[in-house]
Structure formats: C-alpha cells, structure tokens
Structure 1
Amino acid sequence: MGQSQAAGSMIAQTITPTTHDLGQFKVRRALPSKARSMVGPFIFVDQFGPAQLDIGSGMDVRPHPHINLATVTWLFEGAIDHRDSLGSYSTIRPGQVNLMTAGRGIVHSERSPAEERASGPKLYGMQTWLALPDGREEIDPAFEAVKDLPVVEDGSSRAIVVMGELWGAQAQTTTHADTIYADIALDAGGSVPIAADADERAVMLVGGEAAIDGIPLELYQLTVLAPGVAMTLRSESGGRIMLLGGEAFATERHAWWNFVSSSRERIEQAKADWRERRFPEVPGDSEERIPLPDGAPKTVTYP
C-alpha cells in the first residue's frame, strides 16, 4: 500500500493497492487504504483478475451481510450468480451492472454459475462499495440489474457510463449521492476528456496503457485527480480505464468487515445482529454463511 504526490498539479494522490493472492486469482484493494478512505462516495474499490480458474472450480462467496452501503459489481470477463435476502437472483455478465443497496441491512452471496464451472470460470472485473449519504444510510434494501447502459464513442474511444452522467449521457442506474462511474476503452491514439464537475475523481488503468494529461498511469494503481481541473485521458497503444468519483462526504464513515456506517454504534449493532442470526437469510442459499470474524476482520472475504 502506498501513496505519493505525483508530478505537477494534475494528480492529487496515487494509491498502490494491497494485493491478495488467492491461489487462482488476485484481488487488488485500493480503497480503503491508510493513504485515503474515500473518493466521492466510493469507500471500497477492489479489482480482481484477469484469471482463468480450473475446470470444476469457481468463486464461492458465501452469504454475508452489509449495512449502510451499496455494492456495485462490474465484470470485464466471466459471470457471477448473485442471490440476496430480498429474493433477488441475477447472473452478472459483462455490460450489466448489479447495484445492491444494503440500507438498513441485506445478506447476499456471489458464486460462479454451474456452466462457468464446467468450462473453467473466468474472473476479471471490479467490486466497489458506495457509502450511503447522511440521512439515507438506513433506507430500505433494494437490488437492480441494469443492462441498457449508455455508450459514448467516437471511433477511437468507447466509454460505458455505468453510473451518473458523463459526456452528456445519463445512466439509468440508481445513485444515492452524486456519483460518476465509467468503463473507458481507448484504441491506439484514442482520448477522452475528463471534466472537472465532480468533487472528487480517480482513474484506474485495468489493461493496456494510458496517460492522464501526459502522466503515465500504472496498471491497477488508483490515481486520484486534482479537483477542479479538466484533463484528457489518452492512450498511445490502447488501454482500458475505470473512472470513478462523485460528491465528497462531509461526515466520516467507519468500516469494519462488510459494514459501513457514520456510526460506530450502528456497526456494533450489525455485528451483534449477524452473530445472533437476526439478519434475514438468502432464499436458495441458506446452508452456509461467513461467520463474524474474531478480532480484526480479514481484509478479503472472497473464498
């Protein structure tokens, strides 16, 4: 985990993620870190893969709880079956965003589909959490899978707007706070403007090569952009970049295991509720659960 002040005034901060090698695939966690806790509403940023798992194996994240946040799952390759305590069932595939709003409490599981296991699952994508804003932390839990996302392209660049409004295109995905989230693919010589509208913005190179206003991006590093400055993202040989950010939170958020809240007492309550089995179960996936960690929680809850 690292932090540095990059050259010039364009880059506010660079964060090298903590990498967890889980055997068949790697998970890189950029947020939260010692260097920074949030970028806009994003309080958790994981990048995983690319990986090809063994035939017959798969990802099995057993049922576990969340409060006061929304999870956003975005895949570049592969598929994941999502089930939650609302009764939702959705197979996430590239081009579809799954947004699960935990609010006052939800339980979900994430597993590789049977057909993926038969051929050897691919895992490559992003898992992010958004803190819910003041006054909306305890809203009702909800789930949505959005496939019809706007695409902005000009021949040498193609950007999918996953959340929020970018380049004149508005995603249908629910936002609880002002949020921007986009998947940008640049061909050789391609470029896109990065407006200065959002309070906080960051980019992550997830494949290939790219630079922001001439400053090269390092693969999987989270590059936090200086506020209030319009910039240009460009690639000489082709690259894929995630853009994320939104409104800055005035109130601190606490995070412990899978719980996020402005209140430490609320997190203690959630811990007790999970320990005492007061959270609802996941229909169709109630045989297993991830137990509450003893002491300091493990950073990664993947299998």
Structure 2
Amino acid sequence: MIELVIDQRRKDLGGFEVGRVLPFAKRRMVGPFVFFDHMGPVEFQPGFPRNVDVRPHPHIGLSTVTYLFDGEITHRDSVGVTQRIHPGEVNWMTAGSGITHSERFETLRADGGKMHGIQAWVALPVEDEEIDPAFHHHGVDDLPTYESGGLWARLVAGEAFGAKAKVRTRSPLFYVHWRLQPGAQDQLPAEYPERAAYVAQGVVEAGGQTLQTGQMAVFAPGQPVLFTAVTEAVVMLLGGEPVGPRFIEWNFVSSSRDRIEQAKADWKAGRMKLPDADHDEFIPLPEPPPPPNPMS
C-alpha cells in the first residue's frame, strides 16, 4: 500500500527553517509535484531583520503554489503583480518561459506572529514549459470545502472527491488540505496513478502504517487508502498524472538540461526582468561546488 515514507530534511533559510520533502533521492516527483517544502512553523517577533525575506529570484518551467496555515506573505513579481496571501488562499504563479518574484514578510515584521505553510512546485507539461508567465490569486471562495465526522477538507487545486477548484492547472492533479479530529477517518480514492500524503501536524494511520509530523507517504497505485487520525492532525494530499522526468537545478525546472543552462546564463547576465515593485536587490546565481580534491 505504501511504497515509500520520506522524512522531511530541515534546512535553515537564514532566519527560519523549512522541511524539504521533494525532490528526494528515491522519489523525485509525485504526479507533477516536483518540489515540496514545509515552511515553519516559526513564531516571529516584531522587528525581525529583512534578510529573512526571500529576495527576487527566477523560475522557469513550473508553477509555484503557496498555501499558508498561519501568517502572511507579500508576493511581488515581474509581470507586475503585488499580492498578499493569507491562510487558506492560493498564490499560483506560472513561470513558463521565465518569471522573477520575491516573498516578503512585511506584516509579520510589523506585528509579529506565526508563519506556517507549504510551498510546492508543479512541473508544467512539456508543451507548456515555455508559455507566457502569469500569476493568479484565489481566495477561499474559489476552493471547495467539505466537513463531516471530524474531518474538514479544502480542495486547494485540481479535481478530487467529486469537486473541482477554480485554480487553473495544466495537467491532471489534486492537492487537498485535511484537518482531522482524533479518530476521524476518510479514504483517499484510487483515481490518480501517483498519490502521496504529507503530515504537517499530528499523527495518522494510513496504509497500515503510522505517520508522524514531517513524513510523506507515497502510495502504490490502484487501491484506495484509509486514513485514521490518531491525534488532531493536518494532512496535505497530493498527486496526479505524471508529466515525465524533469531536471531541477536551483529554482529552474525543465525537461531539457540545455534549457536550464540557458536560464542560468540569462539570470547571471541580468537578462531576466526583476519585479517592478522590488528591484533593488536579488539572489545571485549560486556558484557551483568546487571539484573534489584528488588527494582526499
């Protein structure tokens, strides 16, 4: 039932930690999901430094999906959008041929408070990798919800459980937020060939195993999966139809290694436009690691 359990790897981004889940050495993607970071949870005090913000940086070949449980982020991008995102809303940014954006914590810096959420990347189908960049914000009214027997659910994107979100996707996928009370049960249907569940909070039983906070279970295809909440829990369900293998380097995703090299060269040479409202700084292209010492 469960093919693989992936434990998050905690990484310090310079002021707060994320739990990196995808890509993983033994599982690079689940459906079109090629990247999955659990942001926080972290409690910020008012007046924390600006270097905690994510400065302008580029993407190609993907859509980024920002979803918050707590806190607020201000998004600015090179197609001219400035948008705050609050818990339960969706920022869906399609990079396509290339976009740059920043993520700022201005409200939290002023007031303090908790930051907790998920940043996911969805690889675009090959025929859509070079589409024009775009940004779409979706409030809670665009996202279907369901509640019964101690389970509350929100469809963040795609189609699942007989519902469809208004978020436009480029390939068949599902992305669902569950909140479960202790003892609550529900099933993940078998309608998609690639499926996974990430436990953002609490403990659940699924597929005959116990899953803890910070673990992602990747399920074998073909059978529904029964979930039972051991404690109060928050679970993200994700997956869909595979779109084929992808190269991923820094913030770039593509089916072509040459295209990633071109994007790296474009960013290094300053050929990618910065956000109009946030162009005074940027993240430079990381330097490649030095070659190994032949004497070591």
Please, what TM-score do these two structures have when normalized by structure 2? Answer: 0.93
Which residue is 2:45 aligned to? 54
Q: Answer whether contact 1:152 1:169 (CA < 8 A) is retained.
A: no
Partner amino acid, structure 2, of 1:192: D
Give yes or no for the alignment of 1:173 onto 2:167: yes
State which of 236, 251, 258 in structure 2 corresponds to 1:258: 251
For structure 2, the residue ranges without an aligned partner over 5 or more in a row are 291-296
| Distance in 2 between residues matched to 1:137 and 1:261, nearest whole Å | 7
4+ runs of 1 displaced by more than 3 Å?
Answer: 21-24
Which residue is 1:196 aligned to? 190
State which of 124, 129, 141 in structure 2 corresponds to 1:137: 129
Deviation of residue 122 (structure 1)? 2.0
| Distance in 1 between residues matched to 2:271 and 2:14, nearest whole Å | 33
For structure 1, the residue ranges without an aligned partner over 5 or more in a row are 1-9, 298-303
Matches within 5 A, 1:141-160: 141-147=133-139, 148=141, 149-160=143-154
Partner amino acid, structure 2, of 1:53: F
Deviation of residue 129 (structure 1)? 0.4
Matches within 5 A, 1:230-245: 230-245=224-239
Q: 1:235 to 1:78 in 2, by over 3 A?
A: same
Deviation of residue 25 (structure 1)? 2.8
Q: 1:270 to 1:24 in 2, by over 3 A?
A: closer
38-47 vs 57-66, greater mean Cα deviation = 57-66
| Distance in 1 between residues matched to 2:289 and 2:35, nearest whole Å | 17
Matches within 5 A, 1:118-133: 118-133=110-125
| C-alpha RMSD of the superposition | 1.4
Which residue is 1:186 aligned to? 180
2:30 aligns to what SS in structure 1? coil
Deviation of residue 262 (structure 1)? 0.4
Deviation of residue 296 (structure 1)? 4.3
Q: Answer whether contact 1:24 1:51 (CA < 8 A) is retained.
A: no
| Distance in 1 between residues matched to 2:245 and 2:145, nearest whole Å | 34
| Distance in 2 between residues matched to 1:233 and 1:263, nearest whole Å | 38
Q: Answer whether contact 1:200 1:247 (CA < 8 A) is retained.
A: yes
Which residue is 1:20 aligned to? 11
| Distance in 2 between residues matched to 1:153 and 1:208, nearest whole Å | 19
Which residue is 1:78 aligned to? 71
State which of 262, 267, 285 in structure 2 corresponds to 1:274: 267
Please, what TM-score do these two structures have when normalized by structure 1? Answer: 0.91
How many residues align? The count is 286
Task: Output one character per residue of 1:199-252: Cα deviation in whole Å (capped at 9) or x when no partner.
Answer: 101101111221114421121111101111111111133211000111112x32
| Distance in 1 between residues matched to 2:2 and 2:29, nearest whole Å | 16
